[in-house]
Structure 1
Amino acid sequence: MPPPSSLSRTPPEFCADVRTLEGGFSSLSLYFVGEWYFLDSDHCTQCECTAEGSACSRTECTSLPAACIHVSHYPTDCCPRCERIGCEYRGVVYELGHSFQPSECEQCTCDSDGIARCLVADCAPPPCVNPIYQPGKCCPECKDGPNCYVNASRSRVIPAGEPTWVDSCTKCRCHDGQDAGYWEGNRLATCSRLKNCTPEQTSSHKN
């Protein structure tokens, strides 16, 4: 029971916070006018005891960072706490300071500010018309070496380097890989045809 001095007080000098417990029991907390308190049943609701009664307001919890990697929610706290933060990148959370490779062409680091900073490889255009991508590698490779198409029909491919006779009268050569914009769009060989040559005139003009 409260001390006699407390029993002599009458409302509105007190505010009461009644909490129902298991088994039908109740818990009663009394507060003086001017006191601030949190409801026993809801730590997100704070009240001020006034002469007119309790004036309460509820705290709304803000969303935790998407990159939070450790959350704690203590019994006496209203909102959960983010104890550790990392970096969120494409739906995956990484710890601070961690380096990771989300794809063959990206190298990323989770900085201390919680931002994933990435370097993306800049692949040069491959010097061939049939590049392939190898597992675990970023840039395409020319398995058969540099090459090009003989003409716009793209029906025949010749290796780069020395000129190639594509028929008895026509000699073609892939462009030099050092040419500006070589593989940016020009993948056709440069060809020259012997004058007054017919397919029947064969080997005499190839030397």
Structure 2
Amino acid sequence: MALENICVYLGSNSGRQPVYVEEAAAFGRELASRGLGLVYGGARAGTMGVLADAVLAAGGRVIGVIPESLVQKEMAHAGLTEQHIVGSMHERKTMMVERADGFVALPGGAGTFEEIFETWTWAQLGMHKKPCGLLNIAGFYDKLAEFLDHARDEAFMRPEHRAMLMVESDPGKLLDRFAHYTAPTVSKWITRGEQ
């Protein structure tokens, strides 16, 4: 699959440990070194700003998408390649999905989780065939990955669909997996006879 832009969901806070900021910057440099553009939420706050600044400093391109209501709260980034101000969160998420060829969640809070889960759900439903993944910085997503495996083991999702949400601690490995990704063709629904 040809990748041009990667959408990244991440925190408008910086987190407790310095490693979150350090690895957000490293991921930005990795994107730029591969010629991949960044699509993200358009803010300069938290690790969102760190990631965007790292991509820009490495000569990469950054597309921000931010709702009017969050321009002041999240401090819209003024130095992006493109900054789109939209009317709602729904418009923000839709534009980000349309502009990206893959989706990665770095550590973050409820908004980060909601965004990657929605995008992954759309992939399971066949609404797009783009890769989704978690960049598991400092083991941040260990317990979530364990819980998702439990949901698979309890037959609330197919193994093929659990595998669609890739989990890697190394940004290069995650992006390499994205480059070779093929979406499964199996139906989302599990019938009684398959359990």
Per the normalisation by structure 1, the TM-score is 0.23
Higher helix share: 2
Higher strand share: 1
Rg larger in structure: 1
